């Protein structure tokens, strides 16, 4: 696909709805070409079509972060069509905990499935796209974390999330934070940057109706970190420009 030299390219996983879809829209409104990732081909196409109707250069791409073959195919497709990638938003995520259960009671199945998507899927996607991000003038990776991944806040009585012990989800996001720091070290002498984003408590299917933030605001942290300049952070954990404690 033809792009002029300055045109940037982003891949957003889990972009058929929620924060991912809105992130794709806001990146697109900045003139960035967006590949709208979804685990289902029809959902990917439909979401891209909706964005194109708003004048955004959007295309669907099938990425199931739990399916190595689909990730490999997506990366090969990007290499074939665009030869490099500027922005990867690791947005796909699940919250599977039985919220009536205590941390010690969540089933191992829930722990494993949660980690498969939120951590191992994110790592697999990053590994597949890293060679293409290295070809960009300044590759950016945004890992969707959560304030619920903050070990400091979980260990601090009175913190805003002290009583929110959704254990498998929370620990998977703590691990996403830890991975972000490891990768940031690897990238520190390159033009690339990787950061962890807390979008806020956002009115999506996952966030629920009690959430305090609109989706349009929930995408802002991802978009800001996707578009930081060369002096921007690397290996940070941020919400709307504010640093959160690990």
Active site (catalytic) residues: 169, 173
Helical H segments across the chain, by residue range: 18-29, 41-53, 68-82, 108-115, 122-134, 151-154, 167-187, 215-218, 220-226
Please select the residue that binds ligand NAP; options are 206, 224, 228, 240, rule is CB under 6 A: 206
Angle at 24 between CA 22 and CA 25, to 5 degrees: 60
Spatial separation of the C-alpha atoms in residues 174 and 45, rounded to whole Å: 32
For residue 149, the minimal CB distance to ligand NAP (Å) is 8
By three-state DSSP, how is residue 207 classified? coil
For residue 6, the minimal CB distance to ligand NAP (Å) is 29
Please select the residue that binds ligand NAP; options are 28, 60, 121, 139, rule is CB under 6 A: 121
Spatial separation of the C-alpha atoms in residues 110 and 237, rounded to whole Å: 25
Spatial separation of the C-alpha atoms in residues 196 and 180, rounded to whole Å: 6
Tell me if 177 contacts ligand NAP by CB under 6 A: no
Give the interface segment with ligand NAP, choosing from 97-105, 157-165, 182-190, 195-203 (CB under 6 A).
195-203
Choice between 66 and 159, CB closer to ligand NAP: 66
Total residues found in the chain within this entry: 246
Tell me if 29 contacts ligand NAP by CB under 6 A: no
Tell me if 60 contacts ligand NAP by CB under 6 A: no
Tell me if 139 contacts ligand NAP by CB under 6 A: no
Tell me if 34 contacts ligand NAP by CB under 6 A: no
Q: Residue 32: what are its φ and ψ, rounded to 5°?
A: -85, 135
Tell me if 211 contacts ligand NAP by CB under 6 A: yes
Tell me if 73 contacts ligand NAP by CB under 6 A: no
8 Å CB contact between 174 and 227: no
- Interacting residue ranges for ligand NAP, rule: CB under 6 A: 13-14, 16-20, 39-40, 63-66, 91-94, 117, 121, 144, 146, 198-199, 201-202, 204-207, 211
């Amino acid at each position: 696909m033809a792009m002029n030299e300055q045109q940037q390219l982003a891949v957003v996983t889990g972009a058929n709805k929620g924060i991912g879809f809105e992130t794709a829209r806001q990146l697109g409104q900045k003139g960035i070409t967006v590949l709208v990732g979804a685990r289902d081909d029809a959902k990917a196409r439909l979401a891209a079509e909706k964005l194109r109707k708003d004048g955004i250069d959007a295309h669907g791409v099938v990425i199931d972060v739990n399916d190595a073959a689909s990730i490999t195919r997506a990366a090969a497709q990007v290499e074939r069509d665009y030869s490099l990638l500027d922005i990867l938003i690791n947005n796909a995520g699940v919250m599977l905990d039985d919220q009536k259960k205590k941390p010690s009671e969540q089933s191992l199945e829930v722990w494993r499935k949660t980690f498969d998507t939120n951590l191992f899927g994110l790592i697999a996607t990053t590994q597949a796209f890293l060679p293409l991000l290295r070809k960009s003038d300044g590759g950016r990776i945004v890992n969707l974390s959560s304030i619920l991944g903050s070990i400091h806040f979980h260990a601090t009585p009175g913190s805003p999330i002290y009583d929110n012990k959704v254990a498998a989800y929370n620990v998977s996001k703590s691990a996403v934070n830890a991975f972000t720091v490891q990768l940031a070290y690897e990238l520190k002498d390159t033009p690339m940057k990787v950061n962890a984003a807390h979008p806020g408590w956002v009115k999506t299917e996952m966030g629920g109706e009690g959430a305090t933030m609109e989706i349009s605001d929930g995408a802002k942290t991802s978009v800001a970190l996707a578009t930081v300049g060369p002096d921007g952070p690397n290996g940070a954990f941020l919400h709307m420009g504010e640093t959160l404690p690990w």
